Structure 1
Amino acid sequence: MIRRVCLLSWQQQQAADSEPVESPGPPAGPQDLQDVQEEDGEDSTLNEELRKHSWSGIPREVRPVTWRLLSGYLPANKERRELVLSRKREEYFGFIEQYYHSRTDEHYKDTYRQIHIDIPRTNPLIPLFQQPAVQEVFERILFIWAIRHPASGYVQGINDLVTPFFVVFLSEFVTEDVENFEVAALPLDTQRNIEADSFWCMSKLLDGIQDNYTFAQPGIQNKVKALEELVSRIDEDIHSHFKRYEVEYLQFAFRWMNNLLMRELPLRCTIRLWDTYQAEAEGFSHFHLYVCAAFLIEWRKEILSMVDFQGLLMLLQNLPTIHWGNEEVGLLLAEAYRLKYMFADAPSHYKR
C-alpha cells in the first residue's frame, strides 16, 4: 500500500490553499468510454472527453481503441477511422519493403546488431516476448523507426517502449492470459495489424520525448536534474541522505527516465500508468517527472534506513514492486497529481 507522506512544505501549502487537491474522478466504465468513442466530432473535443474518462484507468475491453484515439493515431471522425487505419498499416509495410533489407548494409548493421542484442532482454521473464515471431516484429518496428529518425537512431531503452502497445493491441484478440499467448496462432493479417499499430503509436509517443534519445540524451539529463530539484523541495531528508552517502540521482533516475519506469514496475502496472500518461497533457514527459518524485518518496522509510552507498543503490535499483497492481498505481498517480498541482501549476512554490 502506498504510504501518504506528510511533509512540512506540503502541510504549509495545504493550509494556504482553500481548496483540497483532488486527482480526476473515478474510473469510467467500458460503456462510458465506448459512448465517447462513438461520438463524431472535432479531434480536440473528442480527445478532451476521452482524457477526462481515461485518467483514472481504462477498462481492458475498450483500451485498444482508446489508446489509438488518445495517441492521435486514430482520427476523431468515425467515418474516416477504417480508411486511416488501412492506409497507415499499408504505409508501415511499405517502409518494411523499402528499408528492412538494408539492415545488413554497412551503414545500418551496427544499429540492427544492437537491436538484435537488446530484444531478448526485453521483459525476459515474460514468455510472450521470448517467442521468435514476436522478437522479429520488434526487430522490424525498432529498425524502421531508427532509420526514419536519424537525429537519434536506435538507443537502448526504446525497445521497452514497444511492449505496452503490443500487449494492449494483442489483447483485442485474446481473452486468456496475454503474457503466455502464442502469437503465431493468430491469422497473419491480425499479426500484421498489431505490428503496424504498435509502430505508429510508439512513434507518436517518441515524437514527444525524442530529446531523451538524441546525442548525449539531453532530455533525460534535464529531467534528472529537475527531479533532484523537485525532491530537494518536497523531502529535504531524502535529498540530504543522498548527499551524505554520495548517491547521485543520475545513478538510479537515468533508467527511470530512459525506460519510463518500465524496469521498476510489472508490465500490468505500466499499462495502467500509460492510461493516465496518455490522458494527461505531456504525460510521458512533464507528468512523468512528478510520478518519479512520488515513486521515490513512496520508499522514504526504506531509503532513510540505508546507511551506506552500496545499500542505497541496491535498493533504488531493485525496488520491491512485484506485487503491485492497479490500487498502488492509482495512489501513486494521485500523489503525482498533487505534486504537479503544487509545484508545476504554481511555480512560486518552488521558492524556499
Structure 2
Amino acid sequence: MKINSRPSPKQDNRPKIHATSNLPGVVVGSGNVGGGVGVTTVGGGAGGSTSAASFRDFQESTDDAWDSGDDEFCLVSDIKISKKVSHSAAMSVINSHRSGNRDTSTKDDTQYYNKNLQEIIPEEKRIEALQRLAVQPLHLRNDRNKCHDNNDNNDYGNSPNRGSTHYPGRPQPLKSASANKFFVPSKEQDGESKIDKFQSLLDASLLNLDELRQLSWSGVPAKLRSVTWRLLSEYLPASLERRQQVLERKRFDYLNLVKQYYNVERDESFQDTYRQIHIDIPRMSPLISLFQQNTVQLIFERILYIWAIRHPASGYVQGMNDLVTPFFLVFLQETIPVSSWQDIENYDVASLDQKQREILEADSFWCLSKFLDGIQDNYIFAQLGIQHKVNQLKELIQRIDAPLHQHLHKHGVDYLQFSFRWMNNLLTREIPLHCTIRLWDTYLAESDRFASFQLYVCAAFLLRWRRHLLAQPDFQGLMLMLQNLPTQNWSDSEIGVLVAEAYKLKFTFADAPNHLQAHDPR
C-alpha cells in the first residue's frame, strides 16, 4: 500500500520488499509448502515481536505488491506465490496453530479459545485472513492488495456462500434487512417531529447552522440528508435565496475543472497519480454491483484525480476512494425515485441523463473537498496526522483500559497494525455502508471538531470488542478478530451507541491535559 504522496517521476522512492515478513509468529522463507513459499510459525508473544520502532522502519520493509499488475500472483522478493499455494500455506498455519504446544494454557483454555473464535469468526474468514497473514506484512496492509480480488476463479469466488461472505476490511453489501430499512424513509425510522424540525430549519431564510449541527448529530432523516449534508459541509450558503445560484456556479466550475485537468493530455508528473487511481477504482467495493459499473468508476476516477491535482501537498492516497462513496450514495438517492432506494446497490447510473450525472459528480467532489480539508494532514507525506492519532489512541486506551492495552502489548499487537486503516478510511471498511452514512451524519455535524472526535470513535469501537479480544490467547487470534469484526448486521442503533460512547469518552478525557501525553516505553 502506498501511503506517501506521489513520488517524482524521475525518482522511485518506493521502499524495497524483503522476503521475510514482519509478522510476529509468521516467517516467510523459501522452503517448500506444496512447491511454493514456506510458512513457518514462531513465537507469537511479545518476546518474539519484531515490531518496527518507527514509521520509517516498517515503511522500508513493505512494498506495493500490485506493481506487477498480476492478479494471479503476489510477489515476495523474487518468488511468486500462487493462490493455491498460499491457501495450502494458510491451512498449514491453521493446523499448526491448532495442534501446537501452548505451555501457558490448559486444555480447557484451548477448547474455550477454539469455541470462542469459531463463534465470532467463521472458518472461511479465518482461512482468508491467515492467507493474508502468511504472505503479506501486516503494517498498513490495505485489503485491496489481496492477490485474487478480481479473479473470479479463485477458491472463495466459487464458494456457494460467496454472496453472504463478510470480506474483512471492505464495505459490506447494502442489501440487508437493516440496510433496506435504513435507505427507505419512514415515519417510524425518522420520526415525524424530527422531520418537521429539520424542515423548519432548512426553510428558514437564514439558516442557523449551529442548530442544524446539533439536530443532525443524532442522525439525519433519509429524505432530507442530501441538502443537510451540503449545508453541513458548507458547500451551500446559509442564505436560502442564494443556494440555487451557488449550486449552479459550483457545478459549472467543476465541469471546467474536468475540462482543464482530466480531458486533456496528462502532464508526465501526474501520470503516477492517475495510474494508482486507475488501478484502485476497479477493485473498490467488489460486493456492491453499483460500484462495479463503468459509469460510476469513471465518476470516481475524475473526482479523485482532480482532487489530487488541486492538493499537491498530499496528492492521492490509497483509501481515499472509500471517502467518496458516502457522498455519492446520498446524492444518488436524491437523484433517483424513492421506489428505487431499496435496491440502490443495483441501480444503473448510466440510465440517468447527462445533466443528472454531472450534478451527482460535482456535488460529490465539492463535499468531499470540504470534508477532507479538516483532515488533510492525514494524507501528507508519511501520513503524519494518522501516525499521531494512532499514538493518541494507544495512550488513551492505556489510560482508560489498562488490562486491554497490556493484553495487546503482551501478544505483540501494535496499534498501527489495525487502527491505521480505521483512521485512514474512517471505519468505512469496518462497518456496512448504510452505517457509514449514519456515522457521517455525526462526523459532518462535528464540523472542525471532527478530526479530534474520530479518535474517540475509534477508541469506543475498540472497547466495544474488549471481551472478545481479551479471550484471544495469542497474536494470530487477536489479529483475526480485529480484521473480522462482526459488524455485518449492524444498523443505525449500533452507530448511535458508538457515537454516544465516543462522546462520553471525549467529555471525560478531552479536557484532561495529560491523557494524551502519556509515554509508554513499550
Judge same fold: TM > 0.5, yes or no: yes
Choose which of 279, 298, 313 in structure 1 pairs with 2:445. 279
Deviation by residue 1:162-184 (Cα, 9 ceiling, x = unmatched)? 00000000001222222211111
Which residue in 1 is equivalent to 2:283? 121
Q: Aligned partners of 1:213 and 1:314: how far apart in 2? A: 27
State how many pairs are aligned: 324
Question: Does 2:459 match 1:297?
Answer: no
Which residue in 1 is equivalent to 2:82? none
TM-score normalised according to structure 1 size: 0.89
Q: Give 1:274 shift.
A: 0.3
Which residue in 2 is equivalent to 1:60? 222
Which residue in 1 is equivalent to 2:411? 245
Evaluate the alpha carbon distance shift between residue 345 and residue 178 of structure 1 in structure 2; reply closer, same or farther with a 3 A threshold: farther
Which residue in 2 is equivalent to 1:69? 231
Question: Does 2:330 match 1:168?
Answer: yes
Deviation by residue 1:9-45 (Cα, 9 ceiling, x = unmatched)? xxxxxxxxxxxxxxxxx97622211110111226xxx
Deviation by residue 1:38-86 (Cα, 9 ceiling, x = unmatched)? 11226xxx21010111111001000000000000000000010000000
TM-score normalised according to structure 2 size: 0.60
Report the 3-state secondary structure (helix = DSSP H, G, I; strand = E; otherwise coil) of the residue aligned with 1:250: helix
Deviation by residue 1:293-320 (Cα, 9 ceiling, x = unmatched)? 0000000111001111111112111211
Amino acid paired to 2:255: F
Q: Give 1:105 shift.
A: 3.3
Q: Give 1:118 shift.
A: 0.8
Amino acid paired to 1:341: F
**Equivalent runs, 1:191-206 vs 2, <5 Å:** 191-206=357-372
Moved more, 260-269 or 31-40: 31-40
Evaluate the alpha carbon distance shift between residue 335 and residue 111 of structure 1 in structure 2; reply closer, same or farther with a 3 A threshold: same
Which residue in 2 is equivalent to 1:21? none
List alignment gaps of at least 5 residues for structure 2.
1-189
Choose which of 250, 253, 272 in structure 2 pairs with 1:88. 250
Which residue in 2 is equivalent to 1:329? 495
Evaluate the alpha carbon distance shift between residue 188 and residue 233 of structure 1 in structure 2; reply closer, same or farther with a 3 A threshold: same
- Answer whether contact 1:342 1:349 (CA < 8 A) is retained: no
- Answer whether contact 2:232 2:447 (CA < 8 A) is retained: no
Choose which of 251, 256, 260 in structure 2 pairs with 1:98. 260
Mark the structure with the bigger radius of gyration. 2
Q: Aligned partners of 2:463 and 2:198: how far apart in 1? A: 33
Q: Aligned partners of 2:394 and 2:417: how far apart in 1? A: 12
Q: Aligned partners of 1:349 and 1:154: how far apart in 2? A: 33
Moved more, 68-77 or 122-131: 122-131
Amino acid paired to 2:402: E
Q: Aligned partners of 2:315 and 2:255: how far apart in 1? A: 19
Q: Aligned partners of 2:376 and 2:481: how far apart in 1? A: 29
Q: Aligned partners of 1:343 and 1:282: how far apart in 2? A: 18
Report the 3-state secondary structure (helix = DSSP H, G, I; strand = E; otherwise coil) of the residue aligned with 1:108: helix
Q: Aligned partners of 1:339 and 1:172: how far apart in 2? A: 35
The structure where helix makes up a greater share of residues is 1
Q: Aligned partners of 1:172 and 1:287: how far apart in 2? A: 28
- Answer whether contact 2:395 2:515 (CA < 8 A) is retained: no
Q: Aligned partners of 1:113 and 1:102: how far apart in 2? A: 15
Q: Give 1:109 shift.
A: 1.3
Evaluate the alpha carbon distance shift between residue 237 and residue 138 of structure 1 in structure 2; reply closer, same or farther with a 3 A threshold: same
Question: Does 2:193 match 1:31?
Answer: no
- Answer whether contact 1:291 1:333 (CA < 8 A) is retained: yes
- Answer whether contact 1:205 1:284 (CA < 8 A) is retained: no
Amino acid paired to 1:35: S
Choose which of 483, 489, 492 in structure 2 pairs with 1:317. 483
- Answer whether contact 1:260 1:284 (CA < 8 A) is retained: no
Moved more, 100-109 or 221-230: 100-109
Q: Aligned partners of 1:121 and 1:165: how far apart in 2? A: 19
- Answer whether contact 1:103 1:112 (CA < 8 A) is retained: no
Which residue in 1 is equivalent to 2:421? 255
- Answer whether contact 1:51 1:70 (CA < 8 A) is retained: yes
List alignment gaps of at least 5 residues for structure 1.
1-25
Report the 3-state secondary structure (helix = DSSP H, G, I; strand = E; otherwise coil) of the residue aligned with 2:269: coil
Q: Aligned partners of 1:183 and 1:215: how far apart in 2? A: 35
Q: Aligned partners of 2:256 and 2:515: how far apart in 1? A: 51
Q: Give 1:276 shift.
A: 0.5
